[in-house]
Amino acid sequence: MNNWTKFKETTQILAVLLLDCVAKSYGNFKKFHDGKTKIRRYGQFLDGRWMGQDDIKNYEKMMSIASPQQLLIWSRNFRRYKNELLNLAKKISKTDFSHSSNIDLINLFSKYVSLCAKTYSFVYDYVMLNKTYSEKINKLVFKKVKSVEILNYYLPHIAGLDKPADMHKAKKEIGVMAIYVKDKGLDKRVKNRVKEYCKNYGYLKMFSYIGKPYTEKEIHRELKQLAKKDKKKILEETTSQINQLFLNKEKTEEFIKQYKLNQKDKKIIKVLKDYIYTSLWADELYHKIPCLVMPILIKIYRRLKISYKHLIFMTADEILESLKLNRVSKSLLQTINRRINNFAFLYDGGRIELLTGKALNKFAANIIKRQKRKFSLKLNEIKGQPAYAGKVRGVIKVIKNMDDIRNFERGKILVATNTAPIHVPAMERAMAIITDEGGLLSHAAIISREFKKSCIVGTKIATKVLKDGDLVEVDADKGIVKIVKKR
């Protein structure tokens, strides 16, 4: 039976508009993948993203049996469509909509949604590949090195980024500006540079269509704080990640050469590197592109005389229909208000349904009743997959919301269901990182290797067992978290 099965925990809900675009992509899924596999169910409810049990099984199987060449084709197609969507979003960001008619808005917004539906069909490929490919990489490396110590030495480099992403570029740019501010103060020249920085990297503070990008005031404040440090410290803090990329590339090439990898093994590593970036492209789609298309969204919600929050809790079809009518009907507005309070998004066999109120409560009760897995709160240790080796002892802080990220204290052990770009400031301050989800390709694994923070991913139950203030020992060599003392 294709029962609803949670495949991804989430502490941050996605806007209805984004969920709708992901659901629309599943009409294209078979066409853009193996020509056979279908996704019949997709949803967001009960703090998670869900698919049908059979859908997950078939998706994982498709990714696990695909040849390295086929996987590379899919990742390259994802990059191509993502870049097309990014180019359209950049065009929208520079468009003056002051004289646009409703027809103009409908045409451009329809084009945007259509391209989203094409691109999002690849967005969970890395999640499904994560479940099987980590073991394949571990076997490949261990087969060559025959030693846990050497495995732990090479694996973070092989499974690490070797080209800069926006988060690296943003960090480096902050460092360059901070050194300038230290020498010459916050003058007009650096203020113009901050303005450009916010255009390029402001989205790193956002989650999907929700939240606001970094403001110039926030960056000015950060620069002044950073400029108080000596130049050597500034450079160390803002370029260490970029330097790590070069080291990852160098050590990966060293491993390939020293252990004489054949073409087949080289391609396995190439697939890993490509799919590390697809996880970051998914972040771009979820966070950067919504930020770039803000001008058309602002124009639409003002034209319809509703709030931005109301707009992002509408489906694409509801937005287009309302633009045709030049208004949002009273009944739809009431429905949207109920969604803002709480909702379940369901895509089932090509049909989209949003549940609220009593219908939502009844549906949720049935799902909870079917959940068989029970978690013991009396466990003394939990296990997961090592993402970056090391042993530390410290106090737990579970990330549940944005306030927890902002207020995260340096030196605590960060626990989360999973991580995204908005978690990076807290991850940088953490002593170690533990997540419920993920594998070698997950955001938490990638960033922990960048920061050289002991990290265990894929525990499944860390956020349910560990509580704020618990004292634990993290053994990321073996993937074990031992609870020393409960709060």
Interatomic CA distance for residues 285 and 421, integer angstroms: 12
What confidence tens digit (pLDDT) does each residue in 233-257 have?
999 999 988 999 999 999 999 999 9
- In sequence order, the 6+-apart residues with CB closer than 8 A to the CB of 96 are none
Please count the CA atoms within 13 angstroms of the CA of 42 that sit on its side-chain side.
Answer: 23
CA distances from 146 to 141, 258, 261, 385 (A): 8, 14, 15, 19
Confidence band for 358, pLDDT divided at 50, 70 and 90: very high
Nearest alpha-carbon partner for 255 in 143, 97, 108 = 143
Q: Which of the two residues, 58 and 153, has the higher pLDDT score?
A: 58
Percentage with pLDDT > 90 across the chain: 70
Decide if pLDDT at 320 tops 90: yes
Strands 344-348 and 351-355, bridge-based pairing: antiparallel
Report, as an integer, the average pLDDT of 28-32.
93
Interatomic CA distance for residues 122 and 463, integer angstroms: 28
Confidence at residue 284, expressed as pLDDT on a 0 to 100 scale? 77
Angle, alpha carbons 139-434-123 (nearest 5°): 70
Q: Which of the two residues, 318 and 442, has the higher pLDDT score?
A: 318
Q: Which helix (H) or strand (E) holds 144?
A: helix 125-145
Decide if pLDDT at 370 tops 80: no
Q: Which of the two residues, 141 and 58, has the higher pLDDT score?
A: 58
Sign of CA dihedral 299, 304, 305, 308: negative
Strand partners, 175: none
Decide if pLDDT at 375 tops 60: no
Query: What is the crossing angle of helices 294-303 and 102-119, to 10°?
Result: 130
Confidence at residue 55, expressed as pLDDT on a 0 to 100 scale? 96
Confidence at residue 208, expressed as pLDDT on a 0 to 100 scale? 85
Confidence at residue 7, expressed as pLDDT on a 0 to 100 scale? 87
3-state secondary structure at position 155 = helix
Confidence at residue 422, expressed as pLDDT on a 0 to 100 scale? 82
CA distances from 192 to 187, 188, 204 (A): 9, 6, 19
The two three-digit tokens of residue 153, written as one number = 């030495």
Q: Which helix (H) or strand (E) holds 327?
A: none
The two three-digit tokens of residue 370, written as one number = 């079917």
Decide if pLDDT at 381 tops 60: yes
Measured in Å, how far apart are the chain's first and last C-alpha atoms?
42
Lowest mean pLDDT among 172-181, 261-270, 333-342, 398-407: 398-407
Confidence at residue 368, expressed as pLDDT on a 0 to 100 scale? 83
Interatomic CA distance for residues 226 and 223, integer angstroms: 5
Confidence band for 282, pLDDT divided at 50, 70 and 90: confident
Report, as an integer, the average pLDDT of 418-446.
89
pTM here? 0.85
Chain-wide mean pLDDT for the chain? 91
Q: Which of the two residues, 227 and 282, has the higher pLDDT score?
A: 227
Interatomic CA distance for residues 28 and 418, integer angstroms: 27
Confidence at residue 133, expressed as pLDDT on a 0 to 100 scale? 83
Decide if pLDDT at 414 tops 90: yes
- In sequence order, the 6+-apart residues with CB closer than 8 A to the CB of 381 are 480, 481, 482, 483
Complete domains list, the chain, with CATH: 4-123+285-370 (no CATH), 166-242 (no CATH), 381-485 (3.50.30.10)
